[in-house]
A and B are shown apart, each in its own frame.
Chain A
Amino acid sequence: MIEKKVVVGLPHGLHARPAANFVKLATTFKSEIKLVKNEKEANGKSIMGVMASAIAKGDEISLVANGVDEAEAIAALEKVLLEEE
C-alpha cells in the first residue's frame, strides 16, 4: 500500500469534470484507490463517493492505492489532483 499527501491544485476542486476524469482514470487500475480527507474515506472509483467528499482547491488530502499497480496509480492520479487548469 502507498499513501501520499497531496495539496489539491484544481481551480474548482474535485468537481464535475475533474471528478469524472479522476474516476475514469482510477478505474483503469487494478489497485484499490482511496481519497482521504479529514479522516473520511472515499472510494476513488466511485463518482458519487468522490464528489460527495467535496474536495476543494488547496485541501490537503491523502491519496491511497493498494494493489499490483499501486505505484503507477499514485503517480498518474496525483497528476490529476495537481493540475491547475
Chain B
Amino acid sequence: MSREIAGVKASAGIVIGAALLLQNSELEVQTVSVEDADAEIRRFQEALEKAKADLQEISERVEREMGPEQADIFRAHLMVLEDPELVDTVTATIKQERVNAESALNDAAQGFISIFEQMDNEYMRERAADIRDVTRRVLSYLLGVELGMPGQTKEEVIVIAKDLTPSDTAQLDRRYVKGFVTDIGGRTSHSAIMARSMGIPAVVGTREITSAVQPGSKIIVDGHAGVVIIDPSEEQIALYRAKQAEYDRQKAEWAQLVDRKTVSQDGHHVELAANIGSPQDLEEVIAHGAEGVGLFRTEFLYMGREDFPSEEEQFQAYKQVLEKMEGKPVVIRTLDIGGDKHLPYLNMPEEMNPFLGFRAIRLCLDQQDLFRTQLRALLRASVYGNLKIMFPMIATLEEFRQAKALLEEEKEALQKSGVDLSKPFEVGIMIEIPAAAMMADVFADEVDFFSIGTNDLIQYTLAADRMNERVSYLYQPYHPAVLRLIRQVIEAGHAKGKWVGMCGEMAGDPIAIPILLGMGLDEFSMSASSILPARQQIGGISREMAAKEIPLILGMSTSQQVEDFVTNRFAHMNS
C-alpha cells in the first residue's frame, strides 16, 4: 500500500528513487562471560583492524573526491581506534572480567563518551559523537551487523533525515544525492536552501518521514506540491513520470533564457543573481544564467571542519568565485555565524534567544582576529573580479562604521606591505533588522549599496522565530508591514543614488516578484534554480504597470489580501 505524506515544499522538481535513512539505529550489546579470554582479545583485535582498514579507505577516497579538509574527520576516527587508553582498557577488561569483546568495548567507549559529553565546550561535546561513531564501526564487525554509512553512499539515493545540519550536508556526496526529505524545518532551513542550490527536489517539515519510511523503500518526492509518496503503485509511478516529463519540458523552455538579460515587458533591465555557499555551487549558478552572485554565504567555508579556515584558504575560495564570474558582480557577505549556524570549534555559550543574540557582525566586531583574517582574504581577492563586500546584521550606524574602519586598517596595512589593491570595490550592508530598514536614509549616505535579507527581516518584523513550526503562520513575506519596510529601503537607497538588492528567499518568489519589480528593486538574488523561471516571469510584466499598483498594495490590511490581489492582477501576465 502506498502512503502519502505532506510537508513544506522546499525545492522544486520530482524524483523517484530509493530512500536512504540518515539515522543511527542502536546496536544491541549483551554482556556474556567467555572461557577463552585470549581468543576473545584476538576477536577484538581483528574487528579493530577491519574497522581501521575501512577508515583508511574512506579517508583516502574522501580526500581524493572532496579534498583533505573533508577527510580530516575520518583520520580523527582512525586515531581513536589507535588510542592505547581505549585498546588497553578493553583488553584488560576482557582478561580480568572474562566478558565478551562487545561488552568490554561498549563500556570503555561509554566511559570516554560521558567524559566528553560533560565538557562545557560544544566542540568537545561533539567529540562524544565521534567516539560513538567509531565504536559502532568496530561493534558492527564484532556483531556481524552491516552498517549503513550515510555520507558514503555509492548509489543514487533520496536522503531521509530528521534534520540535515550544515555539517551533515558537507559530508554528503553530491553526485549521489537526488533529493532530501526531512521531519523538521521550513523553506529557509539549511536543508531547504542546500537542496535548492544543488538543484534537487526537497520536501521538509513532514514531521514523520523518518518513522514512516523503511531504508531502501521506493519513494516519490514531489518538490512542487510538497508531497512524498512511500511505496507508490505502478499507476502513481506512471503519473509522476509524466509530471517529471512536463517539468523537464518547462525546464527546456527556461534553458533558452540562459544567455539572455533579464528585461521587463516594458524594457527595464534588472539583475538576477544567485545565492551561493561555496565555490562548488558556481557550476549550477552559471548553468542557470545568473547575472551575478548576490550573496556568497561565507560561513559555509567555516563549517564541516575542525578549525578556522586560514587566510590563504579563504583567499583562494574568494578569488575562485570572482574569477569564475568573469567580471560580473559578486557580493560576498562576511561571516554570519550564530543563530541557527554554529561552529563546533568556536566555543559559544548556549543562548536563550540565539536569533537576537551574539551573532554575525556582533561576533565579528568582538572577535576581531577572526574578522580581520577574513577581511584580509577579501581585500587580497578584490583585484580578481567585481567584488562587493557586505556586512550582515547591521543594526546601528556605529556597527557599520566600526566594521568599515577595520576594513580600512587592514587595507592600509596590506598596501604598505606591497599587496595590489588597485581595483575599487563597493562596501554595503545587509538590511535584515527593522531598525536598519527604518534608518535606511541615514545609512544611504555612508554605504555603497543595500541588500535586503528578507528571511531575517520577516522574522524580526513579525517577531516569529522561523525555526519554530508553531509560529510559522506568522512568517508572512507579503505582510504589508514587511512590504512597507522594503519599499522604504528601496526609496532611501535610490534617493542617494545607491543600488538596492534583495538576497532572501522572497526575491525568487513568483508572488513577490511583481511587487518588488514595481517598487524598483535593482537586483534579485535567489537560489540558482529560481533564476530562469523568474526571468521568464519578469519578461511578462510591465514595470510601469506594476509600479502603479504599489500604493494600493501597501494600503492593504493583510498578507492574504496582498497575495490574492497579486495572483489575480498579474496571473495573465505570467505565461
Contacts and interface: CB of A to CB of B under 8 A. Distances in A.
A binds B: yes
A23 B82 CA distance: 11
B80 A17 contact: no
Contact of A48 (B86, B121, B306, B345): B86
Interface in B54-90: 72, 75-76, 79-80, 82-86
Contacts of B115: 52
Interface stretch (A39-47, A58-66, A71-79): A39-47
A51 interface: yes
A15 interface: yes
A12 interface: yes
Contacts of A51: 116, 124, 127
Nearest to A11: B369
A46 B85 contact: yes
A42 to B, nearest CB: 9
A43 B86 CA distance: 11
B565 interface: no
B79 A12 contact: no
B307 A17 contact: yes
A15 B85 contact: no
A20 B83 contact: no
Contacts of A12: 307, 345
A54 B306 contact: no
B451 to A, nearest CB: 33
B85 A16 contact: no
Contacts of A48: 80, 83, 85-86, 112, 116, 131
B119 A47 contact: no
B76 A20 contact: yes
Chain B interface, >50% SS class: helix
A15 B125 CA distance: 12
Interface in A5-61: 12, 15-17, 20, 23-24, 43, 45-49, 51-52, 54
A43 B307 CA distance: 24
A48 B175 CA distance: 34
Nearest to B109: A48
A45 B119 CA distance: 21
Nearest to B369: A11
Contacts of A45: 84
A73 to B, nearest CB: 16
Contacts of B84: 43, 45-46
A24 B121 CA distance: 24
Contacts of A46: 83-86
B116 A52 contact: yes
Nearest to B119: A54
Given A16-B307, A54-B121, A49 B345 contact: no
A17 to B, nearest CB: 6
Nearest to A43: B85
Nearest to A24: B79
A55 to B, nearest CB: 11
A47 B83 contact: yes
B72 to A, nearest CB: 8
B355 interface: no
Contacts of A54: 119, 121, 124
A49 B84 CA distance: 10
B123 interface: yes
Contacts of B121: 54
A43 B72 CA distance: 22
Interface centre among B79, B121, B124 (most CB of A within 10 A): B79
A16 B306 contact: yes
Nearest to B72: A17
Given A46-B84, A46-B85, A51-B127, 11 more contacts: A15-B123, A16-B76, A17-B307, A20-B76, A20-B79, A47-B79, A47-B82, A48-B80, A48-B116, A48-B131, A54-B119
Interface of B: 72, 75-76, 79-80, 82-86, 112, 115-116, 119, 121, 123-124, 127, 131, 306-307, 345
Interface of A: 12, 15-17, 20, 23-24, 43, 45-49, 51-52, 54
17 contacts: A12-B345, A15-B306, A16-B306, A16-B307, A20-B75, A20-B76, A23-B79, A45-B84, A46-B86, A47-B76, A48-B83, A48-B85, A48-B112, A48-B131, A49-B85, A51-B124, A52-B112
